[in-house]
C-alpha cells in the first residue's frame, strides 16, 4: 500500500508529538519535587492565523488544520518548567 506524502508527514508529526514529553523528561528540572514540564502551543495554517491550544489538544487541532486542505501549517511548541499546584490539606476539626 503506497502512502501519499501528506499522510506520511502527518504521521511523522504525530509520532514526534508523542515523543516530546519523553525528551523533556530527560532534561533536568530546577526542582523535580515541586516542578514539571509544560508546553505553550500554537497551531494554524500560518503564523498569523495560529491560535493558542493546549498540549493535550495539539493533535486534534493539527487534524482540523489538515482537514482544511492546506499544504503547510504553523506549529509552535515551547517547553517551560512550571511549579506544581500546591495540595490543599483539609484540616479536620475535632468537635
Three-class HEC string of 41-85: EEEECCCCCCEEECHHHHHHHHHHHHHCCCCCCEEEEEEEEEECC
Say what the pLDDT of residue 83 is.
92
Q: Is the pLDDT of residue 94 over 70?
A: no
DSSP state of 35: E
Say what the pLDDT of residue 1 is.
47
pLDDT digits (tens, 9 = 90+) for 51-89: 999 988 988 998 898 898 888 888 888 888 899 888 776
User: How distant is the alpha carbon of residue 35 from its chain centre?
Assistant: 17
Say what the pLDDT of residue 42 is.
92
Say what the pLDDT of residue 32 is.
84
Average pLDDT along the chain: 78
Amino acid at each position: 500500500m503506497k502512502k501519499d506524502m501528506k499522510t506520511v508527514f502527518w504521521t511523522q508529526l504525530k509520532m514526534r508529538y508523542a515523543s516530546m514529553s519523553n525528551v523533556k523528561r530527560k532534561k533536568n528540572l530546577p526542582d523535580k519535587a515541586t516542578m514539571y514540564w509544560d508546553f505553550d502551543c500554537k497551531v494554524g495554517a500560518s503564523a498569523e492565523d495560529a491560535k493558542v491550544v493546549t498540549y493535550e489538544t495539539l493533535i486534534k487541532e493539527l487534524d482540523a488544520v489538515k482537514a482544511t486542505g492546506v499544504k503547510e501549517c504553523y506549529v509552535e511548541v515551547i517547553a517551560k518548567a512550571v511549579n506544581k499546584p500546591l495540595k490543599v490539606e483539609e484540616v479536620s476539626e475535632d468537635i
